Amino acid sequence: MTRRTEHVPLVIIGGGASGATAAKLLTEAGHQVLVLERGPWLSFDEFGGDELANVNRNYLTPDPDLHPRTFRPTDDLDAVVQEYSPTPYMVGGGTTHWAGWVPRMLESDFRQRSIHGEVDGASLVDWPISFAEFEPYYSRVEQALGVSGLGGANKFESARSAPYPNPPLPSTRYGRRFRLGCERMGWNSFPMPIAQLSQEYQGRRATVQNAFVHLHGDPTGTRSGVLSTFIPDAHRTGRLTIRTGCYVHHLVTDRTGKITSALYYDEDGLEHEQSADFFILASNAIESARLLLMSTSPTHPDGLANSSGLVGRNFTTHEYTEALGVFENEILFPWAGGGFITECSYEFYEADVSQPFIGGGLIAAGSAGIPLPINWGLPDRPRWGQAMVDYDREFYNRAMSAGVILSDLPQASNRVDLDPAVTDDWGLPVARITQAPHANDIAQANHLVDRAADILSAAGATKVWTNHIHELTGNSRHQHGTLRMGDDPATSVVDRWSRAHDVPNLMVVDGSVFPTPGGVNPTLTIMANAWRVTEQLIRTQHT
């Protein structure tokens, strides 16, 4: 029996980076907000320094037996069950376990179609808004999070309306090596802007620098995830309710096409129905598309908001790859600051017409894989025995990476849909990812990796490896594109204000709306867009 709960004006589905941004703005503007969050709301002392639990035993990420996904490169193949792009299902979302890199997209990222024209096999489009309209929201989010960085240090940065609120963090040894390598190559580098505090800011102390950052939560609340910023901001207004353990699986619509309620399972598997006037989707690109596809009805046989047929399509995911280096004569302590207090270069971010591919991405220093003892590694480490442990002792503190982010081309065939056979522990069809790289992706990524290798060699690495890619694996845990923004309802799912074309009371605030993915970690752009469109909602809607 479905239990009906009291009607509310507004529901946000998902309490992560984008949902928390929307919740903060709406509650601060006087609106009552109910967040339905699938997972828990962990308190700060439920995060800690534990490589085994966090990296190897899914402490923060979805259990692969409870929440499987399936994957295949192309339509002609059967999908296999595979852990794909795991992000925390809990209040805080991806900002629970991120290191906090918050680089900006460039002006050119908003106009890729205008710049490059049509690309065979790709669905390249412009964003329906200009960088100039968008930029102020980058500054808003940076100020609100207290981002530490150095405006103007990135030679390729597009115009900014405000400096970073905090200066860069102290330099790490591996960051300095990267900077030196870039200098020797004649390439620009700059401190990676990071959602951490280099000094006390708005009542929070400077970020405690420990080794357990990437894939770990933050027990001190001194990193700037939404758990220590936007969630408390919203909570302070007294107008925020977060209901945890709520697995929304269907959006119910009326005859006019408006959503009337969200159906969800609670932790005991009992179904509830939450009615509201307005719904904001904030579950990240895979799960938001999945929810709309699960919301079929006689009037929406292909899922909700899907008259374009594009729900789930044009899925992009970047891909992390890298060049690895060993510095036999240097101690690097690659775990200092968790491995991600680093330098970055946009030298190969924008298209270089001399190259046979378009686009590019950032290159930044990091650790050799996971920076921690269990899971770190290099390609030629012996598998076991004295040779393995000698290798660990000799090279653990002397290895680093120059990592790259591929800006993959959107393709209509790369998509998220519902697996026809595999269900999760609640009996719901899981997300099936179909994704194969475009030739441009391979060429671009491998060029970036070769340049990353140049940086490490120039920096004095005594041995360098390049990890060229052959396929896409979702290893970046970045997700975008599945509900792309555009002015034309025939070729997009949401409009320039992230409002669903087909559904009058649905707005999407996560990265599913990105028409193209850029070559940077997406969370800053996701939050800036969420800020932009939520302000518009507040201006125009009377809830």
Applying CB under 8 A, does 336 fall inside the site for other proteins? yes
Q: How far apart are CA 353 and CA 376, in angstroms?
A: 37
Site string for other proteins, 245-264 (x = CB under 8 A): x-------------------
Q: Is the CB of 298 or the CB of 384 nearer to other proteins?
A: 384
Q: In the β-sheet with 415-423, what is the strand arrangement from edge to edge?
A: 80-81, 70-72, 429-434, 415-423
**What HEC string does 483-504 produce?**
CCECCCCCCCCECCCCEECCCC
Instruction: Give the three-class secondary structure for 300.
Output: strand
* Spatial contact of 351 and 445, defined as CB atoms under 8 Å apart: no
Exactly one of 469, 485, 524, 526 binds other proteins (CB under 8 A); that residue is 469
Applying CB under 8 A, does 473 fall inside the site for other proteins? yes
Instruction: Give the three-class secondary structure for 184.
Output: helix
Q: How far is the CB of 412 from other proteins (least distance, A)?
A: 20
Subset of 268-307 contacting other proteins (CB under 8 A) = none
Applying CB under 8 A, does 244 fall inside the site for other proteins? yes
Q: How far is the CB of 470 from other proteins (least distance, A)?
A: 7
Q: How far apart are CA 293 and CA 131, in angstroms?
A: 31
Subset of 72-91 contacting other proteins (CB under 8 A) = 72-73, 77-78, 80, 82-83
Applying CB under 8 A, does 355 fall inside the site for other proteins? no
Q: How far is the CB of 426 from other proteins (least distance, A)?
A: 9
Applying CB under 8 A, does 40 fall inside the site for other proteins? yes
Applying CB under 8 A, does 43 fall inside the site for other proteins? yes
Applying CB under 8 A, does 320 fall inside the site for other proteins? yes
* Spatial contact of 37 and 247, defined as CB atoms under 8 Å apart: no
Applying CB under 8 A, does 413 fall inside the site for other proteins? no
Q: Which stretch binds other proteins (CB under 8 A): 56-64, 106-114, 294-302, 451-459?
A: 56-64
* Spatial contact of 91 and 46, defined as CB atoms under 8 Å apart: no
Q: How far is the CB of 110 from other proteins (least distance, A)?
A: 30
Q: How far is the CB of 74 from other proteins (least distance, A)?
A: 9
Q: How far is the CB of 415 from other proteins (least distance, A)?
A: 16
Q: How far apart are CA 435 and CA 74, in angstroms?
A: 6
Q: How far is the CB of 160 from other proteins (least distance, A)?
A: 25
Q: Half-sphere exposure (CA, 13 Å, Cβ side) for 419?
A: 25
Q: How far apart are CA 243 and CA 391, in angstroms?
A: 49
Exactly one of 6, 384, 420, 427 binds other proteins (CB under 8 A); that residue is 384
Applying CB under 8 A, does 421 fall inside the site for other proteins? no
Subset of 159-218 contacting other proteins (CB under 8 A) = 170-173, 175-176, 208-212
* Spatial contact of 285 and 477, defined as CB atoms under 8 Å apart: no
Q: How far apart are CA 56 and CA 88, in angstroms?
A: 14
Exactly one of 270, 374, 412, 490 binds other proteins (CB under 8 A); that residue is 374
Site size toward other proteins (CB under 8 A) is 78
Exposed/middle/buried for 160, CB within 10 Å: 0-12, 13-18, 19+? middle
